[in-house]
Amino acid sequence: MNLINGKEVAAKLKQDIAAETASWVASGGKRPYLVAVLVGEDGASQTYVGHKEKACREVGFDSRVVRLDAGISESELLEVIEGLNRDAEVDGFIVQLPLPKHISEQRVIEAISPEKDVDGFHPENTGRMITGLDAYIPATPDGILELLKYYQIETSGKHCVVIGRSNIVGRPIANLLSMKGYPGDCTVTLCHSRTANLKEVVRTGDIVIAALGVAEFVTADMIKEGAVVIDVGITRVKSDTSKNGFKLLGDVKFDEVAPKCSYITPVPGGVGPMTIVSLMKNTLKAARRRSAK
Ligand code: BQF
C-alpha cells in the first residue's frame, strides 16, 4: 500500500505557484487578488476560508474576506457579488458554500462573472470544461487529477467508479477522467444513492473515488485488491481525544481498506490540501487572463 501524501504534494505545488507568481509580478504583472465571501459563522466554513487566506499569503497573492451576516437577504448578497464582478482590482472570487437555507446557491453561482469564477461552478465554466474548452476546473476534481499525475498512477483503460453525483466533485471528476489523454481515458461509472448493487459495482473499480459525504461508507468488502482509492469525504465528528474537540472522518473506512489498496489518500492530509492549491492555480490563471485582455 502506498499512502498518497496530499499535504506534501500541496506544499510542493504551492512553492511552484509562489515562484511563478514572483516572476509574473517581477515582469510587471498584476499581483493576483482573491476575495472570499463568507456568509454566517459556520465553524467548518471559517476553517476553509482560513486555509484559503493562508495559502494566498504563502504564494504571494493579495486576499480579502468579505464577512456577511447569516441573515443577509439573497438580493443583498447578489449586490455584493455584482460589486465584486465590477471591481477591477479583484481577479477572482469565491462564495464559500454551503449558504444559509434561505439563499439559492444556484442563483448566487449564476450571478458570478464566469471570468472571475475561480471555483469553476458557473454553468458557463461547467459547459466549457465538459466540452474540453479552456475553463476554470473546480478545485477538488483538479486536485485529484494533480495527485494522480504526481504519483504517475495509470488511468488509461481503467475502470473508475465515482460514488456521489454533486456538481462540486462527483459529476466533474467523472467527466474529467473520461476525457482523452492523461490523466483520463478511464471508463467511468457514476454511482449514487439510487444505484442498484452499489457494493458489487464499486468492487469492479480499479480507481474508486468516494465523494458521497457519508463517513466511513466504503468498507473493505467493496474494494478490489490493488485498487486506487481517493477519499474526498470530510465529516467532522466530536472527539474527546483531539485538541480542538473534533476529528475528521473520510468516506472510506481507512484502517480496513488501506491494506487492500495500491494507493490510498488519508483524511486529513489527502485531497483537502490539494483543493486549496487548485484554487490558487485558478486565481493565478484569472490574473494572467485579465491582463491578456
Ligand atoms: C486537510 C469543503 C465540504 C463542504 C464545503 C485541507 C481543507 C480540508 C481538509 C479545505 C472543503 C474541503 C473546502 C484539509 C476546502 C476542503 O488537511 O485534509 C484543506 O480547506 N477544504 C471548502 O472550501 O468547502 C467545503 C468540504
**Digit-coded pLDDT (tens) for 111-149:** 999 999 999 999 999 999 999 999 999 999 999 999 999
Cα(209)–Cα(230) distance, integer angstroms? 5
Question: Given the DSSP bridges, would you call strands 235-238 and 246-249 parallel, antiparallel or unpaired?
Answer: antiparallel
Determine the distance separating the centroid of ligand 1 and the alpha carbon of 271, expressed in angstroms. 8
Statement: residue 288 has pLDDT above 90: yes
56-66 mean pLDDT: 98
Q: Give residue 86's pLDDT.
A: 98
Atom of ligand 1 nearest to the CA of 140: 16
All three cell numbers of 85, joined, read 464582478
In 10 A of CB 240, how many CB atoms?
7
Cα(162)–Cα(94) distance, integer angstroms? 25
Cα(207)–Cα(262) distance, integer angstroms? 10
Reported confidence tier of residue 13, pLDDT bands at 50, 70, 90: very high
Active-site residue, 96 included: yes
Q: Give residue 113's pLDDT.
A: 98
Rounded to the nearest 5 percent, the helix, strand and coil shares of the chain are 45, 15, 40
- What's the residue count for the chain? 293
* Residue for grid cell 472570487: 93
Atom of ligand 1 nearest to the CA of 51: 20
Q: Which residues pair with 182 in a beta bridge?
A: none
Determine the distance separating the centroid of ligand 1 and the alpha carbon of 272, expressed in angstroms. 5
- Residues lining ligand 1, judged by CB closer than 6 Å? 48, 51, 97, 234, 267-269, 272-273, 275-276
